[in-house]
């Protein structure tokens, strides 16, 4: 907020000047106005005709507005108004205040001249206070309190006071106002008149007739109105009375007087007084009749006197300023009697000195042809928190300034508003779906929104590609921020896991397609394909490079597939009539060999006379209906020499051919199993001797050729057995 320097040095400013000009005295009166309202413009024009105020004073709803003609030290003497008289009893006399203060040429002064209260019947209204206020910053310079009204049965009204606070009314009445506020009502006794107006606030009133109170300077200074219409307070915040034949109204002033009780013999309190500057004098109860103001020039204008008047920017609103980059500008004014052609402007931000700005344009004297002030841009600052701006002038026309009290302007930045607006990263409309554009940077609700689409709502929705922007304003300072976002269009990734299915498989590969950049499966897999080994429901979420998301699921039933293994490819010698047993296992419900056989085993090689390779395959079917298959290649050849398999084996059987008995031996080893198959592949005998010798009775075997498989701890050997 703006800080105005209200305290002045105790050094007598007059001593700075060699000449004293006391001829310019400006006298302000009520211009004949009476009652609750101040003088009109016509009344002022008539009153000041032929004086040094002719044409220099304007009326603003009864408040007189005057501009200081030239800079210098002035005395201000203000007289408060007397309260209203009734019969033989007189209203309280108004106070008188005096002070000396430096005013600048161009300062606008607002003056309320207090008007006397009006009596009617048994009581009279309070006298108005007299106010002299500097318009810039609403700074009170001199305020003289008004006296309270009298009553027909006495006593006389209470006088305007020499203290800042207002006086209390007589008996069971309201307290006087304090610290520039209006006087209190007589609430405890009910139906008392209103309190006198203060500088800041109105007086209060316990009665439903609220207009009895006097109005404060900040609210126009009107006098209070009696409930019976006759006993009104004077302009300047004098209070009216409750009704005829009751207590006298309180006086207005810096702090208003307290309200009286409604009975005869009671009067409100007088208004308080206030003055600043050097040589202050406050005197209670000295003025009869309406108030007045006399402003007298005590010095001649200083020759070379410039100053920084007020900051133009930043411009706080309700003590608040926007954060971020702000331009700094200040009004520089010529307060002296010489034209100023150049002056330096020094300034600091947060106590840190900033570059000096040299101002080289003309500043004319006040009342001259040219302007006596100009707005100067000092630079930019970045406001991030509470701080203070200070600017001051030096060396007007290259010489020392003759008056330093008006050199400096300051601005306290103590309430910073930060606007956080962020639409976030660019977005994608996937497959024409609508998306929401909104502020993701904060939860602030702004005063206004202006979108590039013309919308004025906090959010918009769209599915159209393009660049979208929004600007916002926030708070009493109307802080501004803007952001934009780019919306693009993209298709959804193509994800199709297929229909729910049942497969004969011990594992199954599910493929989510190649459109994704990110894959998230329900079982935790993160690749395009997912190899599963259990039945169940599997789902996948696929995110494309554009950020578009699609998903699908599938319910799989996996039946165990039979596993059959016919072993490695092998060789058989035709010349040695070699045969080999191919076994598909005994745990399946059906078998189908490429030979047409439907047994679990077949013997190959028997009867083969042609050299070359032959393929043998088998398809097996499990109890669950699932099929499995395998194949093996047998190379038939004409071998020279002995049967290598027999020659290298430790397994022997004899006699061969056999009649009733055949003996199996395994030299240096133990026989683990002996299996005998007929030529259809059917196993007709099996034994597990766990010894190196086994005898088998073949007397019941039909004559023919059989295949014998002998498994030892060292080898597996196949032989042909001929039974006669």
Tens digit of pLDDT for each residue in 568-596?
998 888 877 788 889 998 889 999 999 99
Give the mean pLDDT of 530-548.
96
Q: Judge whether residue 245 has pLDDT over 60.
A: no
pLDDT above 90 as % of the chain: 66
Q: Between the CA of residue 258 and those of 125, 196, 255, what are the distances in Å?
A: 13, 6, 9
Q: What is the rounded CA–CA span in Å between residue 102 and residue 11? A: 12
Residue that wins the pLDDT comparison between 480 and 318 = 480
pTM here? 0.54
Q: Which residues contact 59 (CB under 8 A, 6 or more apart)?
A: 38, 39, 40, 41, 43, 44, 65
Tell me whether the CATH fold assigned to 306-417 matches the one assigned to 427-490. Answer: yes
Q: Which of 443, 516, 452, 459 is nearest to 486 (CA)?
A: 452
E strand or H helix at 124:
strand 123-124
CB atoms within 10 A of CB 480: 15
Give the mean pLDDT of 415-427.
95
Which pLDDT value is given to residue 192? 59
Q: Judge whether residue 190 has pLDDT over 60.
A: no
Q: Judge whether residue 2 has pLDDT over 80.
A: no
Q: Judge whether residue 532 has pLDDT over 90.
A: yes
Give the mean pLDDT of 362-383.
92
> Phi and psi (nearest 5°) for 640?
-110, 140
Q: Between the CA of residue 22 and those of 53, 57, 247, 287, what are the distances in Å?
A: 16, 21, 44, 24
On whether the 427-490 domain is CATH 2.60.40, my answer is yes
Q: Which of 22-36, 431-445, 482-496 has the lowest mean pLDDT?
A: 22-36
151, 121 Cβ separation under 8 angstroms: no
On whether the 306-417 domain is CATH 2.60.40.10, my answer is yes
What CATH number has the domain spanning 649-723?
2.60.40.3080
Which pLDDT value is given to residue 266? 78
Q: Which of 538, 540, 492 is nearest to 515 (CA)?
A: 492
Which pLDDT value is given to residue 435? 95
What is the pLDDT confidence band of residue 265, given thresholds at 50, 70 and 90? low
Compute the C-alpha angle 288/290/221, nearest 5°.
Answer: 130
Which pLDDT value is given to residue 189? 56
3-state secondary structure 302-363: CCCCEEEEEEEECCCECCEEECEEEEEEEEEEECCCCCECCEEEEEEECCEECCCEEECCCE
SS3 47: helix
Q: Judge whether residue 14 has pLDDT over 70.
A: no
Preceding amide of 314 cis, omega within 30? yes
Which pLDDT value is given to residue 200? 96
Q: Which residues contact 305 (CB under 8 A, 6 or more apart)?
A: 71, 334, 335, 336, 396, 401, 402, 403, 406
CA count, 13 A, side-chain hemisphere, 602: 19
What is the pLDDT confidence band of residue 247, given thresholds at 50, 70 and 90? low
Give the mean pLDDT of 69-95.
93
Tokens of 439: 């502020």
Q: Which of 179-193, 308-322, 484-498, 580-594 has the lowest mean pLDDT?
A: 179-193
Q: Judge whether residue 523 has pLDDT over 90.
A: yes
Q: What is the rounded CA–CA span in Å between residue 496 and residue 647? A: 62
37, 307 Cβ separation under 8 angstroms: no
CA count, 13 A, side-chain hemisphere, 164: 11
**Residues of the chain by 3-state class (helix, strand, coil), percent to 5:** 5, 40, 55
Give the mean pLDDT of 155-175.
87
Q: Which residues contact 708 (CB under 8 A, 6 or more apart)?
A: 653, 664, 674, 675, 676, 677, 718, 719, 720, 721
Which pLDDT value is given to residue 19? 33
> Phi and psi (nearest 5°) for 62?
90, -15
223, 122 Cβ separation under 8 angstroms: no
Give the mean pLDDT of 124-148.
95
452, 487 Cβ separation under 8 angstroms: no
On whether the 570-637 domain is CATH 3.40.1190.20, my answer is no
Compute the C-alpha angle 591/593/598, nearest 5°.
Answer: 45
- So where are the chain's domains? 18-300, 306-417, 427-490, 501-555, 570-637, 649-723
Q: Which residues contact 316 (CB under 8 A, 6 or more apart)?
A: 1, 2, 411, 413, 415, 477
CB atoms within 10 A of CB 56: 15
| The pairing of beta strand 324-334 with beta strand 306-313 | antiparallel
Give the mean pLDDT of 648-665.
89
Q: Judge whether residue 444 has pLDDT over 50.
A: yes
Q: Which of 35-39, 270-274, 278-282, 683-687 has the lowest mean pLDDT?
A: 683-687
Q: What is the rounded CA–CA span in Å between residue 169 and residue 149? A: 11
Q: What is the rounded CA–CA span in Å between residue 394 and residue 403? A: 10
Q: What is the rounded CA–CA span in Å between residue 379 and residue 375? A: 12
Q: Which of 559, 566, 533 is nearest to 622 (CA)?
A: 559
| The pairing of beta strand 139-144 with beta strand 274-275 | antiparallel
Give the mean pLDDT of 241-252.
68
Q: Judge whether residue 272 has pLDDT over 70.
A: yes
Which pLDDT value is given to residue 355? 97
Average pLDDT, the chain: 89
Which pLDDT value is given to residue 47? 97
pLDDT tens-digit series, residues 620-656: 999 999 999 999 999 998 875 545 566 668 899 999 9
What is the pLDDT confidence band of residue 3, given thresholds at 50, 70 and 90? very low
> Phi and psi (nearest 5°) for 70?
-155, 155
What is the pLDDT confidence band of residue 244, given thresholds at 50, 70 and 90? low
Which pLDDT value is given to residue 263? 61
């Amino acid at each position: 907020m703006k800080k105005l320097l209200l305290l002045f040095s105790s050094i007598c400013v007059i001593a700075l000047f060699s000449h004293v000009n006391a001829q310019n005295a400006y006298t302000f009166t009520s211009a004949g106005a009476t009652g609750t309202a101040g003088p009109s413009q016509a009344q002022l024009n008539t009153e000041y005709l032929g004086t040094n105020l002719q044409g220099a004073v304007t009326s603003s709803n009864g408040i007189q507005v005057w501009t200081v003609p030239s800079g210098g030290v002035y005395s201000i003497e203000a007289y408060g108004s007397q309260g209203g008289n009734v019969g033989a009893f007189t209203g309280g006399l108004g106070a008188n205040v005096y002070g000396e203060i430096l005013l600048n040429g161009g300062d606008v002064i607002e003056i309320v001249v207090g008007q006397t209260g009006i009596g009617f019947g048994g009581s009279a209204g309070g006298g108005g206070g007299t106010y002299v206020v500097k318009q810039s910053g609403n700074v009170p310079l001199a305020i003289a309190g008004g006296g309270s009204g009298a009553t027909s049965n006495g006593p006389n009204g209470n006088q305007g006071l020499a203290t800042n606070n207002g006086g209390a009314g007589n008996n069971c009445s309201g307290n006087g106002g304090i610290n520039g506020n209006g006087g209190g009502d007589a609430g405890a006794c009910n139906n008392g008149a209103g309190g006198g107006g203060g500088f800041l606030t109105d007086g209060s009133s316990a009665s439903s007739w609220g207009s009895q109170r006097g109005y404060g300077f900040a609210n126009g200074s009107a006098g209070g109105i009696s409930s019976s219409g006759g006993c009104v307070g004077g302009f300047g915040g004098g209070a009216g009375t409750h009704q005829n034949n009751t207590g006298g109204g309180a006086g207005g002033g810096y702090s208003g007087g307290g309200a009286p009780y409604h009975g005869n013999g009671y009067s409100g309190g007088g208004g308080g007084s206030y003055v600043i500057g050097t040589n202050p004098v406050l005197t209670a109860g000295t003025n009869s009749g309406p108030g007045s103001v006399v402003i007298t020039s005590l010095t001649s204008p200083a020759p070379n006197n410039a100053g920084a008047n007020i900051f133009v920017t930043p411009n706080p609103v309700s003590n608040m300023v926007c954060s971020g980059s702000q331009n700094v500008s200040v009004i520089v004014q010529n307060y002296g009697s010489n034209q100023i052609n150049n002056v330096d402007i020094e300034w600091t931000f947060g106590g840190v000195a900033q570059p000096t700005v040299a101002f080289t344009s003309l500043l004319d004297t006040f009342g001259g042809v040219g302007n006596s002030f100009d707005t100067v841009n000092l630079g930019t600052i970045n406001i991030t928190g509470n701080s203070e701006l200070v600017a001051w002038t030096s060396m007007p026309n290259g010489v020392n300034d003759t008056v330093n009290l008006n050199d400096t302007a300051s601005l306290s930045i103590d309430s910073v508003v930060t606007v956080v607006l962020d639409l976030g990263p660019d977005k994608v409309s996937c497959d024409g779906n609508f998306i929401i554009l909104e502020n993701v940077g904060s939860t602030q609700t702004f005063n206004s929104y202006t979108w590039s689409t013309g919308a004025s709502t906090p959010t918009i929705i769209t599915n159209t590609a393009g660049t979208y922007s929004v600007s916002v304003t926030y708070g009493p300072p109307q802080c501004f921020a803007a952001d934009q976002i780019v919306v693009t269009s993209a298709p959804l990734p193509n994800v199709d896991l297929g229909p729910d299915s049942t497969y004969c498989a011990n594992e199954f590969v599910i493929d989510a397609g190649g459109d994704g950049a990110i894959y998230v499966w329900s079982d935790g897999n993160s690749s395009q394909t997912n190899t599963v080994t259990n039945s169940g429901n599997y789902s996948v979420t696929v995110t494309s490079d554009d950020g578009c998301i699609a998903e699908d699921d599938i319910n799989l039933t996996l039946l165990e597939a039979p596993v059959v293994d016919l072993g490695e490819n092998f060789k058989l010698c035709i010349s040695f009539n070699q045969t080999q047993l191919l076994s598909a296992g005994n745990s399946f419900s059906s078998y189908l060999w490429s030979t047409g056989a439907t047994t679990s085993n077949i013997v190959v090689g028997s009867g083969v006379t042609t050299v070359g390779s032959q393929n043998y395959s088998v398809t097996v079917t499990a109890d669950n209906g699932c099929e499995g298959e395998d194949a093996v290649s047998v190379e038939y050849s004409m071998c020279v020499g002995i049967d290598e398999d027999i020659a290298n084996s430790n397994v022997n059987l004899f006699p061969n051919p056999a009649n009733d008995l055949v003996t199996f031996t395994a030299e240096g080893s133990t026989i683990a199993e002996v299996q005998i198959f007929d030529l259809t592949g059917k196993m007709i005998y099996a034994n597990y001797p766990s010894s190196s010798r086994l005898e088998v009775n073949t007397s019941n075997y039909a004559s023919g050729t059989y295949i014998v498989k002998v498994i030892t701890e060292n080898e597996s050997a196949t032989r042909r057995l001929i039974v006669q």
